[in-house]
Chains A and B, each alone.
Chain A
């Protein structure tokens, strides 16, 4: 009995010992979690500073001097900053200067996200760890990660930017003064006074207020963690002087807030001044502003003409719907010439979310609104103020499987708008599509859509970008429907569009798509072409893709090929 108990005790001791080994001393060790790295930048200067955007590396060689965000200065032969790991290394004949003294050594590494720095002094050789920038009290002899001072190689890549000094914000940007930029990895620019590469994960930096152009080459010359300034060298075939310079400024507030200002073209008399802003006022509210000013002026002299508009919106989210207040002011002229048109619209719009209808799979969205429109038909009209009200709904089916592998879906929308003079405008759209995979990675979609506009007084239809009027032009609107600036003279107009879309992606490196589209208006207004468009997109180098596209028109007033190829090089 005693022996049996003893054996059992031995087993328990061993089990406890194994448990202690597995979960005891090792699991009890402290683990430090990374903390967000602030906006204070790191400043680097050296004989040569290189930025590898693909590798997220900044490498400086030859008398590298580094100023850290905590005020310490480090000098050495080589500097390396890994932007992904937010880790920097200074190696070779290192001098570390802090407010608590100067030390010389072999290497210094700062793991910014952990607020921990490692230093190898050489008089004599030792290991020092600085915690939370406490340079007065180095932790002596502490172990370091095996790759604490590892200098990542560039692996034969070409540097994207080369200069002699750089400012680095590990979260947002690298700024060089001066800079030589390797365009498309093959064409180095002449030395530029400065260059900023913004790699922030904040999408507000992507917002832009520039109109389209055939070619746009941005030159970002100044940036911080919250701003970006760029000149754009542009080419636009539709302008009398096709080449011009535009300027754009981004301000990013965080939490999705931003303001973007642009002046385009800055180098021609007819100028467009744009301002976009978005500010979330809380979890359920947001303001947005869009303002445009159009001037004709030589340089920045007094303009000979000026007009513009401003649109301010407040969106408030309810439980399963949203409310939007929209105020729009348009100024026919801002120079006090005569009696200008000054249409202004203020209104309120309610819109539900897409809600499922029982278990049918159909989604339904409802909307309604009311708006008051001042100067709706110009200063010469007898009707200066108009009240509009609208109700509408959109229903959409899911994609339903049909015979022979086809998938079908349909969308229908209808809206009625009442203007109080009175006028009634009905818009309706219906679209149905059938799609089928013809082979692996080859898809075809056939669509048919019809849109109608019914107006009891067709020449007095107000079309506005203000959403609360219920008369907002939508991208679906073909000619004959309420397109901004193109009122219909017919009481009822219809547009029908047929399209066959094919797409093929044999590999991630190549895509091909083609569209055959025919539109018919009833009654006939503008010519409606039958067009075939083909676009190919292919990988050309590094992460750059080239898109080539062109259209061919049948029976379109003698025009056959679209005026030019669409060529586009994009980074991916």
Chain B
């Protein structure tokens, strides 16, 4: 009897732990519909407004009330611009009917109410029962944006001994269309060059060292053409990268 009670308690505890797990409880599907009659407000980017629906960039569609009021968020009057894909809107949903009663639009993002993705799934118009898709692997490196931090990247390169002393060293990149003189380096001493560039965290590009032209691009140690190098800026304040050029294409 005692053991049964303990097993039941353990089972309940497991259920609680499962339910509270941060890894498995992020889905909004299971969120209960609020019983309170207070309207819900949410905002996001609109991708379509037609056939009695307003659809957001999350893929969530909401049925519009026949008496829906659509106004510009700033002026409170009918928007002077077309409600084309890409505009932003905050919506007011009546939880009792799951209909959108009010739409306020803007050309800039709105932070009013909750994000669209957090609206209880019962209020979203979906004909089919929800199912999971296999997850998509995240990108190998994050992609930089205007919000990314700026990282000071220092690139040091050692050049082969036969490099003419009067020559400059450059970096050619795919982001510059493989311009042979895209980034000019500073001579540090007889064998080393250096450059500091500010790059956004998440930046990735391919590059090679040159002496200013594609006739003098770097080669592999064997003398064969080499693959482009890859630079990825993961983040942080600064980053130092050491490289070695073994040969130039135009010098035996």
Residues of A in contact with B, size category: 35 or more
Within 8 A of B (CB), among A128-184: 129, 139-151, 153, 155
Question: Chain B residue with minimal CB distance to A323?
Answer: B223
Residues of B within 8 Å of A58, CB to CB, are none
Is the Cβ of A505 less than 8 Å from the Cβ of B195?
yes
Question: Is B6 touching A93 in the complex (CB atoms < 8 A)?
Answer: no
Enumerate chain B residues within 8 angstroms of A21, measured Cβ to Cβ. 17-18, 21, 23-24
> Smallest CB-CB separation from A9: which chain B residue?
B6
In the assembled complex, the CB of B60 is this many whole angstroms from the nearest CB of chain A, namely 9
Interface residue B96 (Cβ < 8 Å from any Cβ of A)? no
Instruction: Find B188's partner among A18, A146, A367, A437 (CB 8 Å cutoff).
Output: A437
Q: Give the Cβ gap from A117 to chain B, nearest Cβ, in Å.
A: 12
Q: Is the CB of B135 within 8 A of A150?
A: no
Of chain B, the residue at the smallest CB distance from A218 is B177
- At the interface, yes or no: A354 with Cβ under 8 Å from chain B? yes
- Asked if residues A515 and B183 are in contact (CB atoms below 8 Å), the reply is no
Q: Is the CB of B24 within 8 A of A26?
A: yes
Are B178 and A206 touching (Cβ within 8 A)?
A: yes
A residues 53-110 near B (Cβ < 8 Å) are: 61, 76-78, 84-85, 89, 91-94, 106-107
The residue of chain A having its C-beta at the shortest distance from the C-beta of B3 within the complex is A6
Contact indicator per residue, chain B 48-85, by CB within 8 Å of chain A (1) or not (0):
10110101111101010000000000000000000011
Nearest CB of chain A from residue B132's CB, rounded to whole Å: 6
B59 touches A148 (CB 8 A): yes
**With a CB–CB cut-off of 8 A, which chain B residues contact A150?**
45, 57
- A571 in the interface (beta carbon within 8 A): yes
Q: A570 contacts B224, CB within 8 Å?
A: no
Pairwise interchain contact A145-B48, C-beta atoms closer than 8 A: no
Instruction: Tell me if B224 and A433 are in contact (CB < 8 A).
Output: no
The A/B interface has a contact count, at CB < 8 Å, of: 329
Quick one: closest A residue to B182, CB to CB?
Answer: A572
Q: A155: which B residues are within 8 A, CB to CB?
A: 146
Interface set, chain A 384-411, CB cutoff 8 A to B: 394-396, 398-399, 407-411
- Give residues 1-54 of A contacting B (CB, 8 Å): 2, 6, 9-10, 13-14, 17-18, 20-22, 25-26, 29-34
Task: List B225-240 residues whose CB lies under 8 Å from chain A.
Answer: 225-228
- Contact A409/B136 with A201-B228, A508-B152 known, Cβ cut-off 8 Å: no
**With a CB–CB cut-off of 8 A, which chain B residues contact A20?**
14
A85 proximity list for chain B (CB < 8 A): 139, 143
A324 touches B131 (CB 8 A): no
- Shortest distance from the beta carbon of B88 to any chain A beta carbon, whole Å: 10
Cβ contact within 8 Å between B58 and A149 = yes
Q: Is B114 an interface residue (CB 8 A)?
A: no
The residue from A33, A203, A280, A363 contacting B206, defined by CB atoms under 8 A apart: A203
Q: In the complex, which residues of chain A have a beta carbon less than 8 angstroms from the beta carbon of B189?
A: 399, 407, 409, 433, 435, 443, 445
B222 an interface residue at 8 Å Cβ cutoff? Answer: yes
Instruction: Enumerate chain B residues within 8 angstroms of A537, measured Cβ to Cβ.
Output: 184
Chain B residues with Cβ under 8 A from A203's Cβ?
172, 174, 178, 206, 208, 217, 228
Min CB distance, A221 to chain B, in Å? Answer: 15
**In-complex Cβ contact of A280 among B6, B23, B143, B224 (8 A):** B224
Of the candidates B162, B177, B184, B222, which one forms a contact with A199 in the assembled complex, judged by CB atoms under 8 Å apart? B177
Interface hub of B61, B152, B165, B176 (most chain A Cβ within 10 A): B165
B179 within 8 Å of A (CB atoms): yes
Minimum CB distance partner of B208 in chain A: A203
Rounded to whole Å, the gap between the CB of A78 and the closest CB of chain B is: 4
For chain B residues 196-230, which have a beta carbon within 8 Å of chain A? 196-198, 206, 208, 214, 217, 221-228
How many angstroms between the C-alpha atoms of A324 and B51 in the bound complex? 71
B164 at the A interface (CB under 8 A)? yes
Q: Mark A244-263, 1 if CB is under 8 A from B, else 0.
A: 00000000000010000000
Tell me if A286 is interfacial: C-beta within 8 Å of chain B.
yes
Query: Closest Cβ of chain A: how far from B252's Cβ, in Å?
Result: 5
Complex partner residue of A149 from B7, B59, B191, CB under 8 angstroms: B59
Q: Is the CB of B131 within 8 A of A122?
A: no
Contact yes or no, B14 A467, CB < 8 A: no
| Tally of B interface residues using CB under 8 Å | 98
B158 CB, nearest partner CB in chain A, Å? 9
Answer yes or no: B112 CB below 8 A from chain A CBs: no
Judged by a CB distance under 8 angstroms, whether A301 is at the interface is no
Known: A21-B23, A409-B189, A435-B189. A572 touches B130 (CB 8 A): no
A351 to chain B, nearest CB (A): 7
Given contacts A123-B51, A146-B117, contact A571 B182 (CB under 8 A): yes
Least CB distance, A360 to chain B, in whole angstroms: 14
- State how many angstroms separate the Cβ of B166 from the closest Cβ of chain A: 6
Stretch in A418-426, A472-480, A481-489, A550-558 touching the partner: A472-480
Tell me if A572 and B176 are in contact (CB < 8 A): yes
> What 1/0 mask marks residues of chain B from 115 to 157 whose CB sits below 8 Å from any chain A CB?
0010000000111111111111101000100100000100000
Residues of B within 8 A of A140 (CB): 127-128, 131
Whether the Cβ atoms of A141 and B166 lie closer than 8 Å is: no
Q: Is the CB of A91 within 8 A of B14?
A: no
Tell me if A205 is interfacial: C-beta within 8 Å of chain B.
Answer: yes
Give min CB distance, A214 to chain B, whole Å.
15
Closest chain B CB from A207 CB (angstroms): 5
Taking CB atoms, residues of chain A closer than 8 Å to B136 are 31-32, 34, 111, 114, 116, 145
In the complex, A312 has a CB within 8 A of chain B: no
Apart from A114-B136, A201-B228, what 15 extra A-B contacts exist at CB < 8 Å?
A13-B13, A14-B17, A91-B85, A106-B50, A106-B61, A107-B85, A116-B133, A126-B127, A206-B179, A256-B226, A351-B252, A411-B190, A449-B165, A474-B252, A547-B181
A-B contact pairs, 30 of them (CB 8 A): A10-B10, A20-B14, A21-B18, A22-B21, A26-B21, A29-B135, A85-B139, A91-B85, A116-B136, A120-B61, A125-B61, A127-B130, A149-B47, A149-B57, A151-B45, A151-B57, A203-B178, A206-B178, A284-B222, A284-B224, A286-B225, A363-B161, A396-B191, A408-B190, A443-B188, A447-B190, A475-B250, A497-B166, A517-B166, A570-B182
Going nearest first, the 4 A-B pairs with the smallest beta carbon separation are: A206-B178, A396-B161, A141-B128, A435-B189
Which residues of B are in contact with A by a Cβ distance under 8 Å?
Answer: 2-3, 6-7, 9-10, 13-14, 17-18, 21, 23-24, 27, 29, 45, 47-48, 50-51, 53, 55-59, 61, 63, 84-86, 117, 125-137, 139, 143, 146, 152, 160-162, 164-168, 172-184, 186-192, 194-198, 206, 208, 214, 217, 221-228, 246, 250-252
